[in-house]
Amino acid sequence: MSDFGFPTAQRHRVIIDTDAKNEADDQFAIVHALLTPAFEIHGIIPAHFGLHAGRPAESMEASQAEVERLLRLMHLDGKVPVAPGARRALPDERTPQPSAGARLIIAEAMRADPRPLHVLCFGPLTDPASALLLEPRLAERSVHIIWVGGAEGPTHYGPEFNLSNDVPAANLLLRSGLAFTQIPYPLYGHFCVSYAELFEKVHPQGALGRYLVEQLVAYNAASSAMAREYRSLGDSAAVGVLLAPHAGRWQSRPAPRYDPATLLPERAGTTARPVREYETFDARFLLEDFFAKLARFARHEGTGDPKPGP
């Protein structure tokens, strides 16, 4: 990929926090972020995805193995730090789950760099919440949490999954001093792509493209009772709002507090601090950007030239 001549001072400092083996869309978001020249990736944190039937008991380790697989397919193994996250959710809003991932966030946030640190969260918020509990001075630093999660009401499949895996962490960060952008359901469910498009635009793009599509099709087949030839790449929304914040519409709203029993938001009038909540985003812009970047990567990965011209 070309870096388009972006100087370091203009690139976004990014950490990715991902429950990568939970479903089949984190993989697309991770690859998209790594292929985005405006992003300077400072590490990837594999996250847990709760104790749910049908999911591996050691879910964080499964996420770590998936992250490492993607880095190998991109020839980036050993070049991007991977810091394992917590294995379990916070027990309450006062008790952290220490991990290498939380320490990575602390180290990068406390670094003498004038650029904000953006933490893209595709799953539960355990690791950034633990980082804040372990190092309260993070609230004084320029740290921005971008979270795909939460919902205004019931979803078509039950409780919103990312929130359900750590309600205390979400409530802690939403009411903290850290900048916070939320991409709730159903917005993140509207980034749909069909099998036909995936097989035309992603599958032909080398070993990486084949893996992305085939693991998605396999997941759908194992998890859907009826034939299903599409999926929403919802986690990519976090990449999108950092890449092009004006490609969607957002509102500044009082931070919600989620009821642990119902997982529904309780909004405390105007007394809570404001957070940015996206209402719309141009999914087609984001998907086409991904298709183009993946095609460029596949075209140049065998040339030995890591920065082909635009």
Q: What is the pLDDT of residue 307?
A: 45
C-alpha to C-alpha distance for 295 and 35, rounded to whole angstroms:
11
How much of the chain, in percent, has pLDDT values that exceed 90?
A: 86
C-alpha to C-alpha distance for 60 and 166, rounded to whole angstroms:
14
Cβ contact 50:87 at 8 Å: no
Q: Which two tokens stand for residue 173?
A: 């960060």
Is the peptide bond between 186 and the residue preceding it cis, with omega within 30 degrees of 0? Answer: yes
Domains and CATH numbers, the chain: 12-193+233-300 (3.90.245.10)
Instruction: Give per-residue burial for 135-158: e unless 16+ CB within 10 Å, then b.
Output: beebeebebbbbbbbbbeeeeeee
Q: Which helix (H) or strand (E) holds 215?
A: helix 206-223
Q: The whole model's pTM is what? A: 0.95
C-alpha to C-alpha distance for 73 and 35, rounded to whole angstroms:
13
The number of beta carbons lying within 10 Å of the beta carbon of residue 6 is 14
Q: What is the pLDDT of residue 306?
A: 43
Q: What is the pLDDT of residue 213?
A: 98
Torsion of CA 182, 188, 190, 194, to 10 degrees: 150
Per-residue pLDDT of the chain (310 residues; tens, 9 = 90+): 467 889 999 999 999 999 999 999 999 999 999 999 999 999 999 999 987 767 778 999 999 999 999 999 999 999 999 999 999 999 999 999 999 999 999 999 999 999 999 999 999 999 999 999 999 999 999 999 999 999 988 777 778 999 999 999 999 999 999 999 999 999 999 999 999 999 999 999 999 999 999 999 999 999 998 999 999 999 999 999 999 999 999 999 999 999 999 999 987 666 689 999 999 999 999 999 999 999 999 998 755 444 433 3
Q: What is the pLDDT of residue 304?
A: 45
Cβ contact 10:65 at 8 Å: no
Cβ contact 82:67 at 8 Å: yes
The CA-CA-CA angle for residues 16, 22, 25, to 5°, reads 65
C-alpha to C-alpha distance for 290 and 33, rounded to whole angstroms:
9
